C-alpha cells in the first residue's frame, strides 16, 4: 500500500481499486480452498482480461471487479464468452453484485 492511512487509500481511486480487487481475490482464495473440485484462475488474452475465473465442478465463472462506476469491458466479456461458451460472467461492484453481498456469499451461491 502506498498510502500511510486507510483514509488516504480510499481517496486515491487507483489505490482503492487495487485494495478492493485484492479483497475480492482473498475472499475467493478462501472459498475455493474449501472445495476439492474448485480452482481459481485469471484470464487474459492480448489486452483483454477477466480479473478472476472460478471453476467449480463443471461450472466456470468469470468475475470482474470494479470499485467505481466502471462496467465490464464489452470486448473482454464477448471474448471470454467465446472462449468459454458455457460460462457465466458477473461484475462485483456498483453495477453488478454488490460488494457486501459477494463477501457474505459462499462459493456455491456465487457460482
Whether 1 maps to a domain, the answer reads: no
Query: Whole domain around residue 85: which residue ranges?
Result: 6-110
Whether 83 maps to a domain, the answer reads: yes
* Model pLDDT, residue 48: 94
**If you average pLDDT over residues 12-28, what whole number do you get?**
91
CATH number for the domain including 19? 3.40.1350.10
Whether 87 maps to a domain, the answer reads: yes
* Model pLDDT, residue 1: 54
- Looking at the structure of the chain, the number of domains it has is 1
| SS (HEC) of the chain | CCCCCHHHHHHCHHHHHHHHHHHHHHHHHHHHCCCCCEEEEEEEECCEEEEEEEEECCEEEEEEEECCCCCCCHHHHHHHHHHCCCCEEEEEECCCECHHHHHHCCHHHHC
pLDDT tens-place string over residues 62-111: 999 998 877 778 899 999 999 999 999 999 998 899 999 999 999 998 88
pLDDT tens-place string over residues 25-52: 999 999 999 999 999 999 999 999 999 9
Amino acid at each position: 500500500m502506498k498510502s500511510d492511512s486507510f483514509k488516504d487509500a480510499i481517496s486515491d481511486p487507483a489505490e482503492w481499486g487495487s485494495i478492493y480487487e485484492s479483497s475480492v481475490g482473498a475472499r475467493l482464495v478462501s472459498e475455493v480452498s474449501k472445495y476439492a473440485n474448485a480452482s481459481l484462475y485469471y484470464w487474459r488474452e492480448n489486452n483483454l482480461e477477466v480479473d478472476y475465473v472460478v471453476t467449480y465442478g463443471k461450472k466456470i465463472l468469470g468475475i470482474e471487479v470494479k470499485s467505481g462506476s466502471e462496467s465490464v469491458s464489452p470486448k473482454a466479456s464477448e471474448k471470454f464468452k467465446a472462449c468459454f461458451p458455457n460460462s457465466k460472467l458477473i461484475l462485483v461492484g456498483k453495477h453488478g453484485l454488490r460488494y457486501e453481498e459477494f463477501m457474505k456469499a459462499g462459493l456455491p451461491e456465487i457460482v
